[in-house]
Structure 1
Amino acid sequence: MKYRKINIMVLAILGIVMTSCDEDFLETKPTDAISASDALANEENMQLVLNGLHRGLYSQSQTIFPGGASERANNHFWVPMGDNISGDLIHSANANNLGWRDVMQWNEHTIPTSFTSEILWYHRYNIIAGANLLINKGTDGSLVDSPMLNEILGQAYTYRAYAYLSLVQHYAKGYLIGNPSSDPGVPLLFSSESPFTSAPRSTVQEIYDQIQSDLNSAIAAFENGTGRPNGGPEVKSQLSIDVAYGLLARTALSKGDWQTAADAAIMARQNFPLMNEDDWLSGFNTNNLSEVIWGSNVLPAETTFFRSYFYLASNTFNGSQIRNNPKIADRRLVDAIPDSDYRKKVFIIDAPNTNSSAANGQGGFGNDPNYTDQDAFNARRAEINAAYGINTTYNLHPYMHFKLKNAIPADIAPDDVIYMRTSEMYLIEAEAKAMMNDIPGAQEALRPLGEERDSAYDVTIFNTQESMMEHIKFQRRLELWGEGFGYTDHIRWDEGIDHAANGGSGASAVLYQGAFQVERPSLNDDWIFKIPQSEIDANPNLTPADQN
């Protein structure tokens, strides 16, 4: 790791991050007097450091580590980025707030000096540094074993696994399409004391081994912990044994350990029932939804606002990125949704194209081929605006979505950021069983989700491995649309991007440029993020030859 950055990062965890977590502690200890010994003196203070990691998931990155930038409010950016890079969250017009268009055009993660390549790297290592502080202190024998200590350790191990999984999935070749025993992964970092020296790049296999070890340690600690407390949306910011099992399911799926993936997915979802239609259509803006296993409960005082997830992805957020560039879904996906499936309701196929600068050249009445009557054009616009709480300053576009909706329409307040849901776990189990050629098992795994969403659902028609896998891919793309899984799904399935195929996605070739058609990951290393040039320049364990 880059020494200077890690040194200051850990100071940030012990100081700046803690200032946001507990006023009572700060009443007796001035902000500039917090020391490592104070922060790690007992379980209560260690919980403050842990709370800082929770908040750091969604804070603007310059408040978390030096060199961060306000343009990247961490998971507000990283979560939807997965669908932006993969071409699932489609831009309808040319707008580049926060570099969102550059990300879509593959002009960010392919450049080693870009904000995106650099800040994602340092954010994830910041999480690892914080987790190391808690793990190293909690296991050195100086504290009495207790349920609270075990709960803290469970969360710290889970955080470290989460960060390494994110790093290896972005900065290394996909496990299933490469040679994990020899492919370079990312550096391992275990230190919590100066000089914070990392190892050179470990192999992909070694990183996955560490992730699995950490998750096993997390589950063992959670089994002796206090358990996640009851409460409102804020408690789901705390990691839990369910989150650890969910991450184990994701990890196993990404490496082809199908049985572990299926088993862990079942464990992760047990306490989180599927949402009904009203909840699914409500906007995905709160951890209070029944099937949310883990998400950041965003504090109103955290000034992400025009840096938030919904600013980038929700068509009801009051920001120019959205008003001038409504986000649309791939029309090939939307057209394939049965009318009996209530998820189709969030995609507005017949929205009038009101933007004269729409990338498809069909914006404004007279250019929109779907409307020949201006009164009908205006009436439909008014109807959509009234239904979703927006106004005429917002442009509309065919196939625009209202899956992600602000809790307060046409507002700028940031909402919760959801990371893990029960639906994903059903889909993981189904995919794992299909890959083991257990078609009856895959059918039964998928049945609860399909029957809840589609009143005419019949899973039995998918009775071969090929048809079942194609259906699972469809269900993942639909159910998890906008939640950031597109990038890792493309890599796991070794699928490229082709906006032109099968009638076209609705994206503009002129706007998307080189990202309009992209060869599959096994043949195109541009799917792998560049290591930050600043890391290579400063870390003696990395050389220019280590660049992806």
Structure 2
Amino acid sequence: MKTNKIIIGLLAIGTLFTGCAEDFLESKSTEYATEEVINDFARQDAEAAMGPLMEGVYSKLFEYRDSHDDFGLRAIMMASDVMTDDIALATSNWFIYDNQNMNKTQNYRRTRSTWGYTYEAIRGCNQVIVGLSGIEEADLTDAAKDLLGQAYAVRGMLYFNLINFYQLPYETAKDKPGVPIYTHEEELQGREPVSKVYDLIINDLETGYAYLEGLGMDQTKMNEYAAAGILARVLAFKTDHPNQWDEVAKYAAIAGSVGMMSSEELAAFRFNSINNKEVLFGAPIDGQTTTFYASFMSHMDPWGPGYAGALGCYKMIADDLYAEMSDSDVRKAWFAAEDTYVNPENKEESRVISKYTQIKKFVDVGGFQSDYIYLRASEFVLLEAEARYLSGDQSSARTLLNKLLANRYTDEYQSSNSGQALLDEIYFQKRVECWGEGVRLFDIKRRNETMDRNGTENHHSSAMVIPTIKGFDEQYIFQIPLVELDANTEIGPGDQNP
């Protein structure tokens, strides 16, 4: 075997390796253990040690930090949604600065939190990768492959989020400064070009997928289907990738292959559990891991005791998007068709939930113990449909679209559209299907669409809401947080984003 580099990773968790190795040697009756035995033990011990490190990474993804709109990845997904034209806020409360596109400047919490938690999670992935890198490929067990696959794929996902919050999309910014890259070194790094960051992202996701392929799906951790889905997202941005849309379709098809809810299942599902056939990756939340009021359901569920319920901080579908939905679409029942009394038996003392408020898609199981869903298969059925269309295969695109619609409409509606009308319908259905799931902003950015609130009446929580932003507009870039500029000598004031 190679010179064992496992020790590097194990140093990150103290003296665990040393203590176990000494116990092992003391248990032998022979005077010396062979190098083969020692290396085999070191491998087993490394796997045992890296598992908790990877669990720490996942914990970081739903960690409460310093405010009630700051609870890891799901908070950032929610913030990105309210930056678009699909979600309107009923009141000026948490997430209002994201809604106004103001929460991106260097001294604001959103950019500080996004940068900080992401690089902390990346550091954990690096420790797992380095900690297992001394094992020859032929000697990797399925457990070690699983851990390596998770670490590479999660790292790729995290860098993908970073590069698309802190710079314009690849198509227009591939030669511009991106974000620092850390893979193992601790020395401070400056901003690398966007193209180099994408090279790392794609390599990480391809490597991660290769390790995870065939190991099945555990929704509580990164798995082959989730890795394939994220890779499809990434390749949709990388406009100069060879056979771009064929490759997007390939990986989106893998992610979307796990199955789709029927219309009845969709109507009953409250997006509060990862135990659903469409969920690819998420976080199980229970009484030990809940962040209570600082949680997704606190801000989304209008029936519960959180911000959406007790304070009426409702999250509403934009009225123009709602108006486009067919009455036969079962998803329309996700939203209040009219003002709704919480207690209709006693209207005088009842709270009113406003028309267009989300009322059924996201409902807490109780006690803020709803799981977080990060990725879902239906997104990738629609991404594959888009990719098939853009690769010139309209027939396959329509078939994929109708596969989804067959499980979303009660009147057996099927699309017969072609050309631009077909592509527009795919885009519209994705906006409806993925409402509130942290998907819309990145689609706006990569397609250079216009986020347009001019046609809506319920984007009225503040006069400061920006009516239109183009996807390639610098208004959609976060500034590097001031704490990073102060601490990192490799990034100067002149390296700041607009």
Cα deviation for residue 40 of structure 1 reads 9.7
User: How does 1:531-542 map onto structure 2 within 5 Å?
Assistant: 531-542=480-491
Residue 483 of structure 1 is matched in structure 2 by 437
Write the distance in 2 (CA, Å) between the matches of 1:407 and 1:104. Answer: 23
Write the distance in 1 (CA, Å) between the matches of 2:335 and 2:386. Answer: 25
Give secondary structure in 1 for the equivalent of 2:485. Answer: helix
Q: 1:478 to 1:242 in 2, by over 3 A?
A: same
CA contact (8 A) 1:158 1:239 kept: yes
Q: Which of these residues, 416, 419, 424, is aligned with residue 379 of structure 2? A: 424
Identity fraction in percent: 25
Residue 459 of structure 2 is matched in structure 1 by 507
Aligned residue identity for 1:148: A
Cα deviation for residue 491 of structure 1 reads 0.8
Q: 1:122 to 1:487 in 2, by over 3 A?
A: same
CA contact (8 A) 1:497 1:516 kept: no
Aligned residue identity for 1:547: Q
Q: 1:482 to 1:394 in 2, by over 3 A?
A: farther
List gaps (5 residues or longer) in structure 2. 1-8, 24-41
Does 166-175 or 313-322 show the bigger shift? 313-322
The C-alpha deviation readout for 1:507-544, integer Å capped at 9, x for no partner, is: 21xx333333133132x301011111111121121111
Q: Which of these residues, 224, 235, 238, is aligned with residue 255 of structure 1? A: 238
Write the distance in 2 (CA, Å) between the matches of 1:460 and 1:498. Answer: 26
Give secondary structure in 2 for the equivalent of 1:418. Answer: strand
Residue 80 of structure 1 is matched in structure 2 by 78
Answering whether residue 403 of structure 2 is matched by residue 448 of structure 1, we say yes
Answering whether residue 467 of structure 2 is matched by residue 517 of structure 1, we say yes
Cα deviation for residue 459 of structure 1 reads 4.2
User: How does 1:57-68 map onto structure 2 within 5 Å?
Assistant: 57-61=61-65
Residue 300 of structure 2 is matched in structure 1 by 313
Residue 363 of structure 2 is matched in structure 1 by 406
Cα deviation for residue 147 of structure 1 reads 1.3
Write the distance in 2 (CA, Å) between the matches of 1:137 and 1:11. Answer: 6
Give secondary structure in 1 for the equivalent of 2:293. Answer: helix
Q: Which of these residues, 89, 92, 106, is aligned with residue 91 of structure 1? A: 89
Q: Which of these residues, 293, 314, 323, is aligned with residue 326 of structure 1? A: 314
Aligned residue identity for 2:436: G
CA contact (8 A) 2:179 2:194 kept: yes
Q: Which of these residues, 334, 338, 344, is aligned with residue 326 of structure 2? A: 338
Q: 1:250 to 1:40 in 2, by over 3 A?
A: farther
Q: 1:398 to 1:460 in 2, by over 3 A?
A: closer
Give secondary structure in 2 for the equivalent of 1:107. Answer: coil
Does 197-206 or 237-246 show the bigger shift? 197-206
Residue 101 of structure 1 is matched in structure 2 by 96
Write the distance in 2 (CA, Å) between the matches of 1:393 and 1:103. Answer: 30
User: How does 1:228-307 map onto structure 2 within 5 Å?
Assistant: 228=217, 235-256=218-239, 257-307=244-294
Aligned residue identity for 2:126: N
User: How does 1:48-197 map onto structure 2 within 5 Å?
Assistant: 48-61=52-65, 71-94=69-92, 96-97=93-94, 100-109=95-104, 111-141=105-135, 144-176=139-171, 178-180=172-174, 182-191=175-184, 196-197=186-187
Residue 543 of structure 1 is matched in structure 2 by 492
Aligned residue identity for 1:104: N
Give secondary structure in 2 for the equivalent of 1:237. Answer: coil
Answering whether residue 337 of structure 2 is matched by residue 349 of structure 1, we say yes
CA contact (8 A) 2:453 2:468 kept: no
Write the distance in 1 (CA, Å) between the matches of 2:227 and 2:339. Answer: 41
Give secondary structure in 1 for the equivalent of 2:463. Answer: helix
Cα deviation for residue 505 of structure 1 reads 4.1
Write the distance in 2 (CA, Å) between the matches of 1:471 and 1:385. Answer: 42
Aligned residue identity for 1:495: E
Give secondary structure in 1 for the equivalent of 2:375. Answer: strand
CA contact (8 A) 2:284 2:372 kept: yes
Residue 34 of structure 1 is matched in structure 2 by none
Cα deviation for residue 11 of structure 1 reads 12
CA contact (8 A) 1:236 1:294 kept: yes
Q: 1:45 to 1:275 in 2, by over 3 A?
A: farther
Write the distance in 2 (CA, Å) between the matches of 1:384 and 1:346. Answer: 22
Q: 1:266 to 1:537 in 2, by over 3 A?
A: same
Q: 1:320 to 1:76 in 2, by over 3 A?
A: same
How many residue pairs get aligned? The number is: 460
Write the distance in 1 (CA, Å) between the matches of 2:329 and 2:371. Answer: 26
CA contact (8 A) 1:172 1:528 kept: yes
Give secondary structure in 1 for the equivalent of 2:304. Answer: coil
Q: 1:288 to 1:141 in 2, by over 3 A?
A: closer
Answering whether residue 205 of structure 2 is matched by residue 207 of structure 1, we say no
User: How does 1:365-380 map onto structure 2 within 5 Å?
Assistant: none
Cα deviation for residue 292 of structure 1 reads 0.5
Q: 1:272 to 1:481 in 2, by over 3 A?
A: same
Cα deviation for residue 495 of structure 1 reads 2.3
Give secondary structure in 2 for the equivalent of 1:42. Answer: helix
Q: 1:450 to 1:70 in 2, by over 3 A?
A: closer
Cα deviation for residue 141 of structure 1 reads 3.3
Q: 1:220 to 1:325 in 2, by over 3 A?
A: closer
Q: 1:272 to 1:470 in 2, by over 3 A?
A: same
Aligned residue identity for 1:545: G
Q: 1:479 to 1:12 in 2, by over 3 A?
A: farther
Q: 1:351 to 1:12 in 2, by over 3 A?
A: farther
The C-alpha deviation readout for 1:130-165, integer Å capped at 9, x for no partner, is: 111111121123895211111100000011101001
Aligned residue identity for 1:202: E
Write the distance in 2 (CA, Å) between the matches of 1:326 and 1:137. Answer: 45
Aligned residue identity for 2:480: I
Cα deviation for residue 397 of structure 1 reads 0.7
Cα deviation for residue 458 of structure 1 reads 4.5
The C-alpha deviation readout for 1:54-107, integer Å capped at 9, x for no partner, is: 22211213xxxxxx556511123112112111142211123x24xx21221122
Give secondary structure in 2 for the equivalent of 1:90. Answer: strand
Aligned residue identity for 1:349: A
Cα deviation for residue 498 of structure 1 reads 2.7
The C-alpha deviation readout for 1:438-477, integer Å capped at 9, x for no partner, is: 211210121210111013354442111x111211111011
Answering whether residue 452 of structure 2 is matched by residue 498 of structure 1, we say yes
